[in-house]
Amino acid sequence: MSRKPKYHYLLEKSIHSSISAIEIYNKPDFKYREEAFVILITNSWELLFKAKILKDNNNTLSSLYLIDPNKTLTKKGKDRKRLAYKTNRCGNFSTIDIFKSIEKINKQNLSNNVERTLKDNIEILVELRDNAIHFINESPYLTKKVLEISTATLKSYLIMVNEWFSYDLSRYNFYLMPISFFHTFEMESFSINGEQEQIKNLLKFIFKKEIDSPYNEDSQHNISLVLETKFVKSNSPNGLNVKYSNDANISVKVDAEQVFANKYPTDYEALLTKLKSSYIDFKMDKKFWGIKANLEKDNKYCGERYLDMKKESGTKKKYYSTEIYKEFDLYYTKKIPTLF
């Protein structure tokens, strides 16, 4: 039986760390919830990055070692033929940290790098981790921010594991249970001015990152994602109506037009604009028309509806799901995003 490649062991350790982070966070009563999560999920990211570096360097362990600048010369003052690496207190080779890992990936994978927004998200996680280890993270507002940042990082983690390693994580439940800790009026009346100076500085650091990289619905990665659950009483005919009966059955009336719009949010003009801005070699030629026509046959990517859905008459128009962009990725070369 052939052994797994070295990078695969790091990949599995990364996944185990992320699952442990989620399991701890989702416990109903855990006093070190946020701190434990950010410590484990940051470790998970670092292991994932190192697995990627090993994979790209034919499983050469030295690709992870930290070069010792004080040992680049021999005793006679000549350059060493072989690189010298730093060692830790027990004599093992020291490895690069999480940010050096990102830097190395971006140098080696210009068309498949770590985006700036994802790096900002991870930088916040590292700050949260460092504050948890070396000081204390205790603030109701910080608890809320950790949930938003952690939700975004799990989404990004799933994307990168699949993109880099084609690893199926569908058998795991990658979600955080505590969707909402506070009522709206409690958070609206909250001010960071009463926080300790260390917590205040940490929150300001997070806010600055969120302002610099605001939420983008079309982006794979975001710094934070706000989750909100509400029960709203509404008489609108377009609302989602739920009626509870004594036999525990639930009848649901769903607006068909809204369902269609949710599944196919993009019209042809928006699709074309997105394609032109995403690829360096995109042209409206025979190749494009052929790909488009083929994808339009599959209702996973394209749907057609009357402009007047109630009467179901008149002109029809095609709309597209966001899944169609993944298919175009197979035929065109993506533009290199701006590096950080």
Whether residue 156 is predicted with pLDDT greater than 70 in this model: the reply is yes
Whether residue 98 is predicted with pLDDT greater than 50 in this model: the reply is yes
**Phi–psi pair at 9, nearest 5 degrees:** -65, -40
Bridge-based pairing of strands 313-320 and 302-308 is: antiparallel
Residue-level pLDDT at 242: 44
Please report which confidence band the pLDDT of residue 100 belongs to, taking 50, 70 and 90 as the band edges.
very high
Whether residue 302 is predicted with pLDDT greater than 60 in this model: the reply is yes
| pLDDT tens by residue, 160-180 | 998 899 887 777 766 665 544
Residue 128 structure tokens: 């949260």
Amino acid at the residue 187: M
Whether residue 155 is predicted with pLDDT greater than 60 in this model: the reply is yes
Alpha carbons 205 and 208: distance in angstroms, whole number: 5
- Mean pLDDT is lowest, of 53-67, 101-115, 140-154, for 101-115
Q: What is the H or E stretch that residue 202 is in?
A: helix 197-212
| pLDDT tens by residue, 246-265 | 444 444 444 567 777 878 88
Residues 6+ apart with CB under 8 A from 330: none
Residues 6+ apart with CB under 8 A from 142: 34, 199, 202, 203
Bridge-based pairing of strands 250-253 and 302-308 is: unpaired
| pLDDT tens by residue, 77-92 | 566 666 778 888 888 8
Whether residue 141 is predicted with pLDDT greater than 50 in this model: the reply is yes
